[in-house]
A = this chain, B = another copy of it.
Amino acid sequence: MAPLSQPSRPLPGDDLGLGTRPGPGRSVNKDGTFNVRRLGLPTFRGYELYHSLITMGGFRFLGLLFLGFLATNALFAAVYLSIGMDHFVRPGGEGRLDRMLDAFFFSAQTLTTVGYGHISPKSHLVSAVAALESLLGLLSFALATGLLYGRFSRPHAQIRFSAHGVVAPYRGITGFMFRFVNRRSNQLIEVEATVSLSYLDGESDTRRFVTLPLERSKINLFPTSWTVVHPIDEASPLAGMTDGNLRKAQAEFIVLIKAFDDTFSQSIYQRTSYTADEVLWNHRFKPMSAFGADGVTEMEVDQLDATEAADV
């Protein structure tokens, strides 16, 4: 495993900001998040609120909105009830439930500014609370408008990586390869790839990082798929390595993709990693693209993970 025996201090540019002593598991999860837990932060962090509301799942977000709507109406209904329902002009019954529900629905009609008017304030006190509630309603829905737009317009890369990396024949030698497609209809251009190898140095028991040279690290247009290739030549840290070596060294290929979204004029980053267990040796990717009868290139996106055995 000589090629992996490099100086114990990473060279400038080779450090990924992951530190030199990560744990036994993977540093970067398949979805690109880091395998890091942050402790000692205050429980409530106001500056996380927007981030949470923007990134949480859609159903959870709508559920929160609905719960907030119910809670606000319940709160104002309690205020109206404590003032007394005789402060209202209303056609409804005088039972306890009738009064409670009338207060609740008057609140809802005020908060949403629908204001039918069949229940309406009779006293100035109720008018004042209702004015406050309608202001609160407008501001809340202003907030919801902003959040919904923020959720929608946030850059959503839909780059899908092949499930496995492969070590396959490449121009007389072999190469480490993976591929990815853009699942969205938006145009990605100026796509750049960076691949780093992280591995445990058996001698010093520390983790090391090497940036792997690529056959090509940038493409201008990205209409179909891109197979990123690290040629395993003599200078490669993978030269002479086997499947078993890589597993023993707890190797991890860390992938960073950068692109420009032409439709929304935004830079987009996506990360993933391949552990030694996720690399198929002596396999190659099957072609994904062919010509349709009408001369249009056809890309079969569901063939992204398709590989076949290849003798090296």
Contact = CB atoms under 8 A, between A and B. Distances in A.
Contact of A121 (B115, B116, B223): B116
Interface string A146-173: 1111101111101000000000000000
A24 B117 contact: no
A56 to B, nearest CB: 11
Given A24-B295, A215-B12, A296-B23, A36 B183 contact: no
Nearest to A35: B296
A301 B39 contact: yes
Contact of A116 (B21, B91, B120, B189): B120
Contact of A15 (B38, B50, B219): B219
Nearest to A65: B139
Given A40-B302, A226-B17, A23 B297 contact: yes
A117 to B, nearest CB: 4
Counting chain B CB atoms within 10 Å of each CB, the highest count among A13, A134, A187 belongs to A134
A37 B299 contact: yes
Interface in A246-260: 256, 260
A219 to B, nearest CB: 4
A104 to B, nearest CB: 8
B147 A145 contact: no
A186 interface: yes
Contacts of A17: 191, 219-224, 226
Interface stretch (A78-86, A124-132, A237-245): A124-132
Contact of A110 (B21, B40, B114, B139): B114
Contacts of A268: 265
A261 to B, nearest CB: 8
Report how many copies the assembly holds.
4
Contacts of A185: 48, 51-52
A312 interface: no
Contact of A146 (B148, B222, B266): B148
A45 interface: yes
Contacts of A55: 263
A108 interface: yes
A296 B65 contact: no
A44 interface: no
Interface in A82-130: 89, 91, 98, 101, 105, 108-110, 112-118, 120-122, 124, 127-128, 130
B224 A36 contact: yes
29 contacts: A17-B222, A21-B289, A34-B297, A36-B224, A36-B299, A39-B300, A40-B300, A50-B153, A52-B185, A62-B139, A66-B135, A89-B118, A105-B124, A105-B130, A108-B131, A109-B131, A112-B135, A112-B138, A116-B120, A117-B118, A118-B121, A138-B141, A138-B144, A142-B145, A145-B146, A146-B149, A189-B256, A189-B269, A262-B269
